[in-house]
Amino acid sequence: MIYIMSDIHGQYKRYVAMLEKIELKDDDKLYVLGDVIDRGAKGIAILKDLMDRENCEMFLGNHEHMMLTYLDGSDRVSWFYAQNGGRVTYEDYLSLSEEEKNRIVDYLLHETAIVKNLEINGHRYILSHTSAITDGKDRYTRDYADLMDVQDIVWNTGEDSTNFIAFRDECEIPTTLISGHMISRRFSGNDDVYIEKYENGYTWMDIDCGCAMGEHYGQLSCLKIDDKTGEIVDTFYVN
């Protein structure tokens, strides 16, 4: 089975509860679409757990991007804006050994995805943190010469953002774009996964259900896709 979640934002208890709920097995695949860290207190713990799972692929979110650009000196400001909640992650990061720090940075720079295409039994899915790149090419953070080259992608700005899905040419086969970044409540008024269908054959699913608002608000969601039929067979929530 394939499982997809996003925007955990340091909510370790929800993360562990979700893993227990979906009963993740070694032969399953877990995709986490970025923003594991910041705001909540246990982002580093979640990140380290994901790094140690061979069946997990993580995506670069804008919060991991802010962490990296702070550490390389290209943006020493954004991560510490109060609304971004990076200080709790930074303080946790400082407590790590140099070996652990280097392992995390190396993982984020070289192992995280930007866009992933899945085609299963006539079903097409495009996974990302928030972009709408529809050319069929998988992309990884390591494919970009400079971190600033992916800033528009992970922040939902520019021509590849979800704002432009409706203006794409009609897709050859029905395609579902799955992303996080923007809290679903902004579009639906509730904390469930938001789904919007377009006349050009695309469907957008926003699976960021509000962990960024704190442990007493929102919820964590997880999609389940049957890796044989390609169908979305369940949506799980932990609040």
The domain that holds 52 is classified in CATH as: 3.60.21.10
pLDDT in tens, 92-102: 999 999 999 99
The long-range contacts involving 229-235, CB below 8 angstroms and separated by at least 24 positions, are: 229/120, 229/121, 229/123, 230/119, 230/120, 230/121, 230/122, 230/123, 231/123, 232/176, 235/192, 235/193
Q: How many domains does the chain have?
A: 1
Q: How confident is the model at residue 55 (pLDDT cuts 50, 70, 90)?
A: very high
| Mean pLDDT across 137-152 | 96
Mean pLDDT across 24-47: 97
pLDDT level of residue 110 (50, 70, 90 thresholds): very high
- Domain coverage including residue 80: 2-238
What share of the chain has pLDDT > 90, as a percent? 99
Q: Is the sign of the CA dihedral 53, 54, 59, 60 positive or negative?
A: positive
The reported pLDDT for the residue numbered 213 is 95
Q: With bands split at pLDDT 50, 70 and 90, how would you rate the model's confidence at 77?
A: very high
Q: What is the pLDDT of residue 195?
A: 98
How is residue 56 written in tokens? 């997990």
Report the relative pairing of strands 113-120 and 56-58 from DSSP bridges: unpaired
- Average pLDDT, whole number, for the chain? 97
pLDDT band at 35 (very low <50, low <70, confident <90, very high): very high
Cβ-proximal residues to 201 (8 Å cutoff; 6+ apart), any chain: 170, 171, 173, 174, 175
Per-residue confidence (pLDDT) for residue 187, from 0 to 100: 96
Q: What is the mean pLDDT of residues 24-30?
A: 97
pLDDT band at 145 (very low <50, low <70, confident <90, very high): very high
Residue 18 confidence class, pLDDT cut points 50, 70, 90: very high
Q: Is the pTM of this model over 0.85?
A: yes
